[in-house]
Structure 1
């Protein structure tokens, strides 16, 4: 296990370097610092002097990879690549274009994102798996057909509908929760009601449909027919055999959303005024703060690789037949 983890960590290094280089190329070669300055300044204020001043103030006036006017190692360190991209590899996120410490912002905003994402993930899994098992239990009946129809209908509805609908119905009409906002500590629990509800409902259709197909595939295998032939009740067959053997595909699906636990939900946090990493990214895009956007892109890649590693490790816990070598 230890050797496997070390190998996977070593494999992640070239991937992160590749992501770093690709991000650097997109932000500094395809979209040059001059382009960033023009976008930030606007058409009415674009002059050569204004562009140069904007780049100097934010450290974008350095050469890309090599500074011939410097001496020694400074020829490599006093470059855009080292100052703006290479430092990300050691999780030095630097400062935003407006001077804020990006690392400190990430640490402060991680809490609100986790407070929404973790309960949404766990509650969504519980609800989706329970409903999907229920649909498999009554497979072939009108109740199952109704469930499939509701799942497809739910998949067809935009997340914006759930957000606006929940804010209007539950917050404005019934006044069961605040429309938006955030408070630290237990006082902020009331602000989690609507985001959690939206998070579960918006993923209900696709989750039910995916887990139903997964459980139906397992329910048709020989070991399940053998369990039924032994006289086990259908509920016990589904819970003990089908659900347990479907654990690995479930874990594989969960890994796709693991980065969201830290990165937050862009739409949900923005509409509910939650100071998490999702709204942080949206604000950076709107204000054209490219330092923050680069940092969040790199952080997303790191979290996704970490999620893949944790999923592989969890395979051994879910199924003892799997061995990591």
Structure 2
């Protein structure tokens, strides 16, 4: 089990590098920094000086992948690709165009997401494994057949239906929990119960069957 975990962690590095390279290509090769500058500044009556100033302010005036004008290791490090990639892997996300700190925004908003994702992950695994073991234990019985039919039905329903149906039935009709919103501390429980329940129920079909 430990070797499997290490192997999966090692697999993550080339995947992250590949995703980073693909994202960089979409942002900087399909649309050049000059194109981005003109889209931000406007397509009419824009001088090249304004474009160059916009690029310089954001560090986009350097070479993309390889800097022929630099010496030694700077040929690689003094590029947009290295600077942006290194900062991302160091969790330095910079600032948005309006001056907001992107890292601070992520830090402030990730806790509600984790409050929903972690319970769904842990409880979902327990529910899926338990349901799957019951079907295996009662293999070739009516319980097994009923479980398979239920899993197929649950897999056939769109996740959006679970969300809308859960909000309408539990939140609006029965008024057991709020339809939307969030609070800090223990007040968050009433807001995360419904999303966690929807996430667990919607994943039973796929998680138990496969």
TM over 0.5: yes
CA RMSD of aligned residues (A): 3.5
Tell me the residue number matched to 1:122.
122
Match of 2:46 among 39, 49, 71: 49
Tell me the residue number matched to 2:131.
131
Q: How does 1:288-299 map to 2 (within 5 A)?
A: none
Q: 1:248-279 deviations in whole A, cap 9, x for unaligned?
A: xxxxxxxxxxxxxxxxxxxxxxxxxxxxxxxx
Cα distance in structure 1, aligned partners of 2:11 and 2:183: 41
Aligned length: 204
The change in CA–CA distance for 1:114 and 1:5 in structure 2 (over 3 A counts) is closer
| 1:149 lines up with 2:149 in the alignment | yes
| 1:192 lines up with 2:189 in the alignment | no
TM-score, normalized by length of structure 1? Answer: 0.53
Could you list the runs of 5+ residues in structure 1 that have no partner in the other structure?
211-325
Contact 1:17 1:89 in 2 (8 A): no
Contact 1:64 1:79 in 2 (8 A): yes
Q: 1:256-311 deviations in whole A, cap 9, x for unaligned?
A: xxxxxxxxxxxxxxxxxxxxxxxxxxxxxxxxxxxxxxxxxxxxxxxxxxxxxxxx
Which protein, 1 or 2, shows the higher relative CO under an 8 Å CA cutoff with sep ≥ 6? 1
SS of aligned partner of 1:203:
helix
Contact 2:38 2:46 in 1 (8 A): no
Q: 1:189-239 deviations in whole A, cap 9, x for unaligned?
A: 1100111011101111111212xxxxxxxxxxxxxxxxxxxxxxxxxxxxx
Cα distance in structure 1, aligned partners of 2:150 and 2:7: 45
Contact 1:135 1:144 in 2 (8 A): yes
Q: CA deviation at 1:61?
A: 4.0
Tell me the residue number matched to 2:95.
95
Cα distance in structure 1, aligned partners of 2:39 and 2:46: 15
Tell me the residue number matched to 2:172.
172
Cα distance in structure 2, aligned partners of 1:91 and 1:15: 17
The change in CA–CA distance for 1:21 and 1:132 in structure 2 (over 3 A counts) is closer
Tell me the residue number matched to 1:33.
33
Q: 1:124-174 deviations in whole A, cap 9, x for unaligned?
A: 112112222222232222232121111101101111000000111111101
The change in CA–CA distance for 1:9 and 1:154 in structure 2 (over 3 A counts) is closer
